Amino acid sequence: MMISTRGRYALRVIVDLAENSVDGYVPMREVAERQGLSLKYLERILPLLVSEHLVEGVHGKGGGYRLSKEPSKISVGEVLRITEGDIAPVACLENNAVKCEHINDCRTLPVWKGLNDRINEYLDSVSIADLMKDIH
Amino acid sequence: MMISTRGRYALRVIVDLAENSVDGYVPMREVAERQGLSLKYLERILPLLVSEHLVEGVHGKGGGYRLSKEPSKISVGEVLRITEGDIAPVACLENNAVKCEHINDCRTLPVWKGLNDRINEYLDSVSIADLMKDIH
DNA sequence: TTCGTACCTACCAAAACGGTAGGTAAATAG
DNA sequence: CTATTTACCTACCGTTTTGGTAGGTACGAA
């Protein structure tokens, strides 16, 4: 399996924020409760999203989190790359991969590159807005 | 990362067999040497491919392995599903996944299904013959 | 000053990963 | 019949990743 709970939970949090932060900030306690996830675990995931300017957090009463961009401007690929670190399907395509010596003669590399391209292409084509429930 | 060494090595072995078993059987010792992989580790992977009738092994001198089908009839997806067990990108799409209770109201499920479909579609579209070096 | 929030760091159990070790079973050559 | 060569089987094992928990501190509003 490629996408761990970190990425999956992050995505659910982002969609939850998109749907529930009508104007103000939403405390993570509420999101955790709504989504049935551990607050403590989410608290470890959110700083990643903050540092990459996907969400903003404010302290104190009335504080919480909100999205920094419109849901239509955030792609699923963006969220996953931030939280998973790397969504390459094989080790040799990871960012910090050790240079393979048979790279010019590898029979299997083309299929991994092809797979990687299709995965990223698709995940970048879906936005958070695409995942939101239409609220009439 | 989604595809572990098991699947990647299996694929390299299959392509190696396709290229090097002109008529007879190829001992895994030769393949391991050519590919720079641990023989002992490959010996643990190959029974999977045998039991699913992708390759055949014969004992004794002159023995080894050969493909059971033409390279053009074996897809990359087939090899990976056998060796990896499951190539689902997320836990909730795995074969023996626990039934999620929010399955009918999950905002993120559609994107995982879409991803899963594209991954399998692509891997099934590439055959071992596509990965072989043209030998003139 | 108190409360509610984000945010930080250390720790930890369980599973997966990537093998190694040490055999047995079967087929062939001599 | 014996030796050799191969496939095949099973148990073990160190390291890394996963999926958290525990216990705080920093900050901001009331």
pLDDT for the residue numbered B82: 96
* Confidence tier at A86 by pLDDT (50, 70, 90): confident
Q: Does residue A85 form part of some domain?
A: yes
- b/e B75-101 (16+ beta carbons within 10 angstroms → b): bbbbbbbbbbeebbbbbbbeeeeeeee
Q: Which tens digits make up the pLDDT trace of A89-130?
A: 999 999 878 777 777 789 999 999 999 999 999 999 999 999
Q: Are residues B126 and A133, on separate chains, in Cβ contact within 8 Å? A: no
Q: Does residue A31 form part of some domain?
A: yes
Average pLDDT value for chain A: 94
pLDDT for the residue numbered B135: 65
Nucleic strand C near CB of residue A65 (< 7 Å): yes
Whether B100 contacts chain A with CB within 8 A: no
Q: Does residue B111 form part of some domain?
A: no
- Tokens for A101, please give them: 């010596």
pLDDT for the residue numbered B95: 84
* Positions in chain B short of pLDDT 50: none
Q: Does residue B136 form part of some domain?
A: no
CATH number at residue B74: 1.10.10.10
Q: Give the nucleotide with minimal C1' distance to the Cα of A42.
A: D20
pLDDT for the residue numbered A22: 81
Q: Which of B94, B91, B114 lies closest to A76, judged by CA?
A: B114
Q: Does residue B95 form part of some domain?
A: no
Q: Which residues in chain B have their CB less than 8 angstroms from residue A1's CB? A: 2, 86, 88-91, 94
Q: Does residue B50 form part of some domain?
A: yes
Q: Does residue A136 form part of some domain?
A: no
**Could you write out the three-class secondary structure of chain A?**
CCCCHHHHHHHHHHHHHHHHCCCCCECHHHHHHHHCCCHHHHHHHHHHHHHCCCEEEECCCCCEEEECCCHHHCEHHHHHHHHHCCCCCCHHHCCCCCCCCCCCCCCCHHHHHHHHHHHHHHHHHCEHHHHCCCCC
Q: Which tens digits make up the pLDDT trace of A62-78?
A: 999 999 999 999 999 99
Q: Does residue B100 form part of some domain?
A: no
CB within 8 Å of A77: residues ≥ 6 apart: A87, A120, A123, A124, A126
- Compute the distance between CA of residue A90 and CA of residue B1 in angstroms, rounded to an integer: 5
- Number of separate domains in chain A: 1
Integer distance in angstroms from CA B37 to C1' C22?
20
Judged by CB atoms within 8 Å, which residues 16-35 of A form the interface with B?
Answer: none
Average pLDDT value for chain B: 94
